[in-house]
Chains A and B, each alone.
Chain A
Amino acid sequence: MRSELRQRLVRFGPFLGLALVVVFFALASGAPERYLSTNNLRVVLAQTVIVALGAIGMTLIIVGGGIDLAVGSTIALTGVLCALAIREGWAPIVGVLASILAGGAVGLLNGLAITRLRVVPFIATLGMLGVARGTAKWLANQTTVNPPPTWVNELAVTFPPVPWLMFAPGVWIALLLAVAMAFVLRRTVFGRRVFALGSSEPAARACGIAIDRLKLSIYGVAGLLFGLAGVMQMSRLRQGDPTVAAGTELDVIAAVVIGGGSLNGGEGSIVGSMVGALVMAFLRNGSQQMGWPSYVQEILIGVIIVVAVAIDRWRHAQQGDAE
C-alpha cells in the first residue's frame, strides 16, 4: 500500500510542485485574486511558450539519451532569419516556415555530427552553440533586425488579437504540439524506439534498430520545434535579435528534468516537461509580483532543479531500479 501511495506521489510529483508554487505565491502576494486572474495567467503562459516549445523538442532528445546545448543559439538564429525574411518582403507564412525548416536543418547538422563524426551530443551541440550564435550575428550584421509589423508579431503576445482565443495563439500551438508529441512518444513505434535508444543503445542496435537514422530524426524533429520557438521569440520582441535567448537551453533542460526526465536517457514525459516549464514560469512571475530581486528567482530556480532531481534519485533508490 505504502509503495502504491509513493508511486502515485511520484507520478504527480511535478504537479504537486506546481500546485505548491501557485498556492504559495497566491497566498504570499496577499492578493490571490490578482495572482490567479486570467490576465496573470495570460502573462505567465505567453512567457512560457518559448521554453515550452523548446522542452517538447528537448524531451524527445533527452528520452533518446542525448542532449542539446544549442537551443538558445538556434532560437536566436531562426528568430533573426524570420525577421530578415519578413523585412526582405517574403510572405510572413513563408518566412515562418523557412525559419522552422532552418531550425530542423540545424538539428540535422547536430545529428550528423553525432552520427557521422561520432562526436558525443554534449560536444557536438556545444560546438553548434557557437556556430549558430555566430551565424545569427553575422546574418543580422551584429545588430537587431526590425521587420515591418505583420501577424507574426501577434503569435506570442500576452493579449491575443482576437479575444475569444483567451490566450496567445502561440500558447495554443504549443499545447497542440505537446499533445501531438506526447502521443508520438507513447503510442508510435518511433516513440518507443526513442525510449529504447535512450534506455540502452547497444540493446537497441542489437534489436536491429537503425540507430543513426533514428538519431537524425530525433535531432531534426527537435530542431523544427526550436525553429518554431525562434519564431515565437521574434514575435515577442517584434524584432530579430541575434543576442537573445542566451542560456535558454538551460531553462529548457531544467523544465525536462523537473518533469522527471533523466539525463541518462530512457525516462521523461511531455506532460512532466510542460509542468516543469510552468513551475519555472510561475516562480518567475510570482517573484516579480512579490517585488523580489531577480537574483532571488535565480537562486530559487537553481534550488528547485537540484531538489527535483534529488527526489527523483531517491525514488529510484527506493524502487531499487537499475541505474
Chain B
Amino acid sequence: MTAVLRLTGIAKRFGATLALDGASLEVQPGEVHALLGENGAGKSTLLSILGGLVHPDAGTMQMGGEAYAPRSPRDARGRGIALIHQELSLFPHLSVAENVLMGTEPSRRGLWDRERARSLTRDVLAEFGHPDIDPDALVGRLPIGACQVVEICRAIATRARVVLMDEPTSSLPRGDVERLFALIGRLSAAGVAVVYISHFLEETRAVASAFTVLRDGRTVGAGALAPVSNEEIIALMVGRTVSELFPRRERAPAGDLALEVNGLAAPGLQEASFSLRRGEVLGIFGLMGSGRTEMVRALFGLARPGAGSVNVLGRTRPLSEAPARRLADGLGYLSEDRKGEGLALPLSVADNVTLTRLSSCSRRGVLDPGRQRAQAAERARELDVRMRGPGQPVRTLSGGNQQKVAFARIVHQEAEVLLLDEPTRGIDVASKAQLYEAVSRAAAAGKAVLMVSSYLPELLGVCDRVAVMSRGRLGPARAVAEWTPEGMLEAAIAG
C-alpha cells in the first residue's frame, strides 16, 4: 500500500531555534495517526509545513507517491490537505456558511451563490451531527464549542484526503468530543487519513491507531498505538521516565483561613460558596461553560459579582473591587487565556515576571533593569523556564515555558492566595509536571491555592480537596480520596 503521506528528514530553523531536525512521518490512507510530543517538540511546525504555511529547509515530502511541496495554504488545500488549527481561525463577522466555505466558495461568475452555500453548509453540519447550527448565524455570536464545530466543518467541506487536527478538542465540550471522534471514524472509513495532535493521551488512544513521537524536532518513535503503553509513550516524549508526574508532598496541617466565599453570584455564575486554608490546594472541576472561569474572574475583580461575600486573609473585602485592589489584598491570578490575557507576548521574560510587583525592582518609579533581570532570572530558574535569557520576548518561548513564566509572575508577586485557571492547558507533559511541583511547593510554603481544571487526573493528583462546578453552581468540596473520576464527571454533567 502506498502511504498517503511520507515525510523524511524534515528540518526547519526559526532564527536561532531549530524547530525540526530530522522529523519523519508516514501515514497510510484511512489511518488515524497520533502525532505526539511535548510542546516545542515540533508537532505544530510539522503540521504547518504540511499545510503550506511554513516551508521546510530540508527533507523530502511525498503525497500518494508524488512529490509534495506546497507553496501556500491554497496550494496545500488544492492537493487535498485540510488543517484545523490549535487556535481558532474563524471570521467573527461572517456567517457560519461563509466561514465553512471561505476559499472554496460556490459561485457563479464571481457571485456568491447564497442558496447553494446555505445548503452545502447545512449538509456538512448535519454530517457532523450539528443540524442545530444555523448556516446564517454570525460566528462571532456563537459559543466557543460551536465555533470549533464550524472550524472542523470547514475542513470536511473541502473533501480533503488528509485532515490535520491540531488539538481539536481543547475547547470542545464532552458531547462534541464524542461527535468529533465519531466523525473521525467516518472520515477514516471513507479513506481519509487524519493526523491528530492532542495532549490528552487517553483521548488519543480512543481514536488513533498509529503514532509518531517527536522529541526536540526529531522523530524518536513510531508504530501501532495499541501494543504500546502510556508510560512507554511518555518516556519517548520526554526522553526519560516521568516516574512521578504528580509530586506527593507531606501534608502540612491546614493553616488559617485564607479565602472564604459565600453565596457568590456573577454573570454566568449562580452560586458558589467555599473556604480555602493556607497550605491547601482546592480543585474546582467543571466543564466548559459551567461557570468555573466566571467564578475566578469575579473573585479577582474581572467581572462584577451580583451577590455574596468575600473574605480574604481574615478581612471582609468589598464584593466588587478592581483587580488592582484584589492584588493588594494578596490574590494572584493565572488566566486560562495565556496569550490574550495571561502574558504580554512581545515583552521580555523579565518584564512579564515582574509586572505585578515592579516596586521590587524600582526606586521612586525608576526601574532598575539589572535588578529586574536578576529577579526574573531567579524566578525562571526555580521553574526551569527554558530561555536564552530574561531579555527574551515571551512570544518566542514554547507554550509550556510561557505558562511557567505566567506562574513565575504570581510567585514574584508574593501572592498569598493563588487563583489558577486551567494552569496546564495545552502544555507538554514535562512542563505540566514542573507546574504541579511548583503548586505543591507554594502550598507547602503556606500559600492557599485554588486550581480550576477540566483535566481530571491532575485534580486528583495535585489537590487536597475538590469541588465540582455544574451549570453555574459549585458543589461541596470533598477530600480528594472521596472522589473517583467517574463520580466527578457525573457531578459535572448532572448538576
Could you list which residues of chain A lie within 8 angstroms of chain B, going by C-beta atoms?
187-193, 195-196, 198-200, 202-210, 266-267, 319-322
Contact = CB atoms under 8 A, between A and B. Distances in A.
Given A190-B110, A199-B92, 20 more contacts: A187-B112, A188-B110, A189-B107, A189-B110, A192-B102, A192-B112, A195-B91, A196-B98, A198-B93, A199-B93, A202-B89, A203-B91, A203-B102, A206-B51, A206-B89, A207-B102, A208-B76, A208-B104, A266-B91, A321-B140
A267 B140 CA distance: 12
A200 B111 CA distance: 22
Interface string B70-113: 00111111100001010001111110001000111101001110
List the 3 closest A-B pairs by CB distance, nearest first: A207-B103, A208-B74, A203-B89
A187 B111 contact: yes
11 contacts: A192-B112, A193-B102, A199-B94, A203-B89, A203-B102, A205-B53, A206-B53, A208-B75, A209-B74, A266-B91, A267-B93
Contacts of A191: 112
A203 B98 CA distance: 12
Main secondary structure of the interface of A (DSSP, over half): helix
A204 B105 CA distance: 13
A193 B111 CA distance: 12
B141 interface: yes
A266 B92 contact: yes
A104 B145 CA distance: 44
Nearest to B108: A189
Given A206-B83, A207-B154, A208-B72, A192 B94 contact: yes
Interface string B345-369: 0000000000000000000000000
Contacts of B103: 207-209
A319 B141 CA distance: 8
A200 B91 contact: yes
Nearest to A199: B91
B72 A200 contact: no
Interface string B15-59: 000000000000000000000000000000000000101000000
A206 B73 contact: yes
Say which size band chain B's interface belongs to.
20 to 34
A266 B73 contact: no
Contacts of B89: 200, 202-203, 206
Contact of B94 (A196, A205, A321): A196
Contacts of B76: 208
A203 B90 contact: yes
B111 A189 contact: yes
A209 B102 CA distance: 8
Residue from B107, B114, B140 having most chain A Cβ neighbours under 10 A: B140
A321 B147 CA distance: 13
The residue among A190, A202, A267, A322 with the most chain B CB atoms within 10 A of its own CB is A322
Contacts of A208: 72-78, 103-104
B159 to A, nearest CB: 14
Q: Which has the most chain B C-beta neighbours within 10 Å: A191, A198, A204, A207? A: A207
A190 B102 CA distance: 11
B93 to A, nearest CB: 4
Interface string B112-141: 101000000000000000000000000011
A188 B140 CA distance: 21
A254 B51 CA distance: 40
B73 to A, nearest CB: 5
Contacts of A266: 91-94
